[in-house]
Amino acid sequence: MPVRLNPPSASELFPVAGVRLGVAEAGIRKASRRDLTLIELCQGSRVAGVFTQNRFCAAPVTVCKEHLPSGAIRALVINTGNANAGTGEVGLTNARATCEAVASLCGITAAQVLPFSTGVILEHLPVDRLTAGLPAAKADLRADGWLDAAHAIMTTDTVAKAASRRITLGGKPVSLTGISKGAGMIKPNMATMLGFVATDAAIAQSLLDPLVKEVADLSFNSITVDGDTSTNDSFIVIATGASGAPEITDAASADFAALRAALIDIAVPLAQAIVRDGEGATKFMSIVVGGGKDRAECRKVAYAVAHSPLVKTAFFASDPNLGRILAAIGYAGVDDLDVSKLRVWLASGNEEVLVAEKGGRAASYVEEAGARVMKAEEITVRIDLARGQADATVWTCDFSYDYVKINADYRS
Amino acid sequence: MPVRLNPPSASELFPVAGVRLGVAEAGIRKASRRDLTLIELCQGSRVAGVFTQNRFCAAPVTVCKEHLPSGAIRALVINTGNANAGTGEVGLTNARATCEAVASLCGITAAQVLPFSTGVILEHLPVDRLTAGLPAAKADLRADGWLDAAHAIMTTDTVAKAASRRITLGGKPVSLTGISKGAGMIKPNMATMLGFVATDAAIAQSLLDPLVKEVADLSFNSITVDGDTSTNDSFIVIATGASGAPEITDAASADFAALRAALIDIAVPLAQAIVRDGEGATKFMSIVVGGGKDRAECRKVAYAVAHSPLVKTAFFASDPNLGRILAAIGYAGVDDLDVSKLRVWLASGNEEVLVAEKGGRAASYVEEAGARVMKAEEITVRIDLARGQADATVWTCDFSYDYVKINADYRS
């Protein structure tokens, strides 16, 4: 059961001028399920992306990195059922053949196509079946295809993930719509976090590239289920420019700030949806670290808490186990951390409880207050390092019997 | 059920000349259990130690670090039931009071005493009860007290952990005996890995200090259950010199090499015993990484595999899930790793199976062979990075339903 995650409705997802989406059943791994998505972009669209740092990166990730610099991307092709990862040279050949097939169907070049795959790894991509499905996906292309695409890129997700916003830039209405998939990067066999956000805003490539990295850092790179990084993770932002809004060329402009805020406003819930849908998740936890010298050390502390199996099992048990949280902060790797100064709160809803200060349990703390907070489905752990102005937030879920069950039984 | 871990017998544990051990029931947390251990060292004993890197280190760890440089340690005092961690200034006062009480009882100074605590954290140490138990522990002092001490330092361990060896140095018989405790550093409430090894060999302090770090690195610092680092972890080596063997003053001597080998030969099984007794453990896994540029990168890869909840749940399921192992190697942080060159084997007993090469599944691999290896209780994952001569080994256990059960239910 996902934690407070409602499926999107088609009416909530605004079309993005210059983008059409189509899906098809290609039978990549299983028959009778939509497993192929084609996204067509109008000429002049700008695209930027960030990809997995895993050295075993999948063949499509390698091909995306080759094609992106061309600056003239016109199509994205996404298959589920097979990740085309751990497939060596054959995998690269298959990813390139996929691009060739899309190119020939759409009258563009292979270098204008970005391929994405998610599903089982160490198996070769059935390019013939994928290619055979492409005409149906092309025939299905439509501006309101976002919800169907959100469904078609799911693997073990239990809920489709999509978000949409409208803003005004230079007096023109601009839409942003995004979809994501992933049940927490916790399944290298049916792996992969994918996120795609498109807007019809116009923005210079030189601004879009760093913006995508920044947005990813604040969203998809701030979540964890169990610390396992997939071979295929990709986050792509598309700016078609088809809204007619003036091109954003100045990072100090109000329009840039508005677009940046809207992108974050979409990417954060898309990323959080992956954690809410994390395998076996019964709680959604925000680890908010402030008062750090720099963002890097705040992230270290937040991730140490978010990754600790002891903390995660305590949250599953609704146990306000302060010792486990303090121990995780202590081993996070902030070498000169003065534990006598830091403070820790547990919060849910309107209630925030100071639980630790002066190197131990807070004098004002009573276990009943901690227990009350821990019963909630959404809990915030707030940590003040009391040594600077930087902060960082990481979102994660708890660690339940079902996590072990799902991952121990997965291949059987 | 621990994995292939037999309790030691008293007859296997050699007394160490210059060391006497006594235990008592002090009622620190529960009545009628041995929870207090006193170890008395003869004059001239040399002692060295390594301690937790956790910033929330416990008060006794801080006091140990203050007292060790004196070079004249004569007693160790170890209590279970309370870790005296996360206890602020009061905790330091209590740890120092413990040392004063031992000193006054034994006619030494407080600076000659090393204190160790393990048990619940965030609770104040009941110094009065501890102190009241000391005379009984002193009255119990004897050279053959090792097995009782191994029992008395247990918290949630299911099996006492001890090892002993005899070697000859300069024609004299020398004994080494050690005890350890810990069910995997996975319980910050009843936490802590402790290891104590004593020998009646004589060795210069300037050689003992780096030797202890090296031995810890190859043993207690090469294990993991879940990556959580305790607030109290300590590893202590004592060399009494009482065997009459000549003092070792040259790191290039044959005697130094023999003592080093014997220390490693004791510390490794003591450390492995903690993993074998890890909570919920059903498998004992050795992650052996070779062909690295340096030991640090080999350890990174070994720990990435050993910490991955996905790998650990796959081992629990006896599932030869290569994708999870390859993905963990890929995200270990070895930035310029060429995955097309590395090779991975799974091994148990006499069987070793090449499972991955050339960036994917080995051509010769058949699932039946992998499944056969994975059924064993002790499994080795061997990884050749194919880029250098360095190696490193890490020992860990699998991740079972019982791990979640034990840690989710622990405080209830």
Q: Do A360 and B322 touch (CB under 8 A)?
A: no
Separation in Å, CA of A305 to nearest CA in chain B:
10
Instruction: Nearest by CB to B86, from A120, A326, A337: name it.
Output: A326
pLDDT tens by residue, B215-242: 999 998 888 876 666 677 889 999 999 9
Question: What contacts B254, CB < 8 A, 6 or more positions away?
Answer: none
pLDDT tens by residue, B84-108: 988 989 999 999 999 999 999 999 9
Q: Do A91 and B360 touch (CB under 8 A)?
A: yes
pLDDT tens by residue, A125-150: 999 999 999 999 999 999 999 999 99
Q: Do A327 and B121 touch (CB under 8 A)?
A: yes
What pLDDT shows up at residue B187?
A: 42
**What's chain B's average pLDDT?**
91
Q: Do A340 and B88 touch (CB under 8 A)?
A: yes
Residues of B in contact with A317 (CB under 8 A): 407-412
What pLDDT shows up at residue A383?
A: 98
> How large is the average pLDDT for residues A45-61?
89
pLDDT tens by residue, A83-125: 998 898 999 999 999 999 999 999 999 999 999 999 888 899 9
Mutate to test the interface with A, among B226, B297, B331, B339 (most CBs of A within 10 A): B331
pLDDT tens by residue, A390-412: 999 999 999 888 877 777 764 43
Separation in Å, CA of B226 to nearest CA in chain A:
7
Taking the C-alpha atoms of residue A62 and residue B359, their distance in angstroms, rounded to an integer, is: 13
Taking the C-alpha atoms of residue B305 and residue B329, their distance in angstroms, rounded to an integer, is: 6
Q: Do B228 and A331 touch (CB under 8 A)?
A: yes
Residues of A in contact with B339 (CB under 8 A): 55-56
More confident residue, B229 or A339: A339
Closest by Cα among A301, A289, A299, A293 to A384: A289
Separation in Å, CA of A120 to nearest CA in chain B:
9
Q: How large a percentage of chain A has pLDDT more than 70?
A: 95
Instruction: Nearest by CB to A411, from B226, B321, B401: name it.
Output: B321
Annotated catalytic residue: which of A80, A118, A192, A380?
Answer: A192
Whether pTM exceeds 0.80: yes
